[in-house]
């Protein structure tokens, strides 16, 4: 039997559905959601200084309960250490590419709800390359990091949209029955 989910980190490639899952989990579990994109970026897509960003994340993880979605490799360990649950959204790159392209048109020239003020939706070749190359370049490191942090935590490795739907259904059922989920 797993432990209750109170400090949840959601990671994965762009377009995997991290922010959507975070919102849905937050609603089911009654936990506040922190979209790291909304905290990290400044107007005009400006990045904060590295030290300032790390200090911000160190402050965010002090809360008793939270759901944080986003990658930001430089702060993964800062978030993983206090987390009781880590969800790796490892969906196929064709699905992720389709979603970011669709999202670009859906929010053309506007800001997404999970994005920082002054950062309208954009899509560039570098981001598409990052998504395409993620399985070869980033995924292996993420899997090693998940293995490192697995002891004492629930790790969910979701590989498809149907798996994400089943996971949410299990959370809803567990939330209403008071039961905990088993990590996969």
Looking at residue 182, its pLDDT comes to 47
pLDDT at 184 over 70: no
Looking at residue 1, its pLDDT comes to 33
Looking at residue 2, its pLDDT comes to 53
What residue ranges define each of the domains in the chain, with the CATH number in brackets?
7-174 (3.40.50.300)
CA atoms within 13 Å, Cβ hemisphere of 87:
30
Residue 42's DSSP bridge partners are 46
55 band by pLDDT with thresholds 50, 70 and 90: very high
pLDDT at 67 over 70: yes
- CA nearest to 9, candidates 71, 58, 100, 92: 71
CB within 8 Å of 62: residues ≥ 6 apart: none
At 101, list the tokens. 């392209």
Looking at residue 178, its pLDDT comes to 44
Average pLDDT for 32-54? 95
- CA nearest to 166, candidates 149, 152, 184, 153: 184
For 133-180, the pLDDT digits (tens) are 999 999 999 999 999 999 999 999 999 999 999 999 999 988 654 444
What's the rounded Cα separation, in Å, for the pair 84 and 125? 35
Among the residue ranges 3-7, 15-19, 75-79, 99-103, the one predicted with the least confidence is 3-7
pLDDT at 73 over 90: no
What's the rounded Cα separation, in Å, for the pair 9 and 89? 11
What's the rounded Cα separation, in Å, for the pair 111 and 42? 12
Could you tell me if 120 and 46 are in contact, meaning their C-beta atoms sit under 8 angstroms apart?
no
Looking at residue 4, its pLDDT comes to 84
């Amino acid at each position: 039997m797993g432990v209750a989910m109170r400090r949840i980190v959601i990671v994965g490639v762009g377009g995997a559905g991290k922010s959507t899952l975070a919102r849905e989990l937050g609603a089911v579990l009654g936990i506040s959601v922190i979209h790291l994109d909304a905290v990290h970026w400044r107007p005009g897509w400006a990045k904060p200084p590295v030290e300032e960003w790390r200090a911000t994340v160190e402050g965010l993880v002090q809360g008793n309960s939270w759901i944080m979605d986003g990658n930001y490799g430089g702060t993964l360990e800062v978030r993983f250490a206090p987390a009781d649950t880590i969800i790796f959204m490892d969906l196929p790159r064709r699905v992720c590419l389709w979603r970011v392209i669709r999202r670009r048109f859906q929010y053309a020239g506007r800001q997404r709800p999970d994005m920082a003020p002054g950062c309208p939706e954009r899509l560039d070749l570098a981001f598409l390359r990052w998504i395409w190359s993620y399985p070869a370049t980033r995924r292996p490191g993420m899997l090693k990091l998940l293995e490192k942090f697995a002891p004492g935590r629930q790790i969910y490795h979701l590989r498809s949209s149907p798996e994400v739907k089943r996971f949410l259904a299990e959370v809803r059922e567990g939330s209403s029955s008071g039961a905990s989920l088993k990590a996969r």
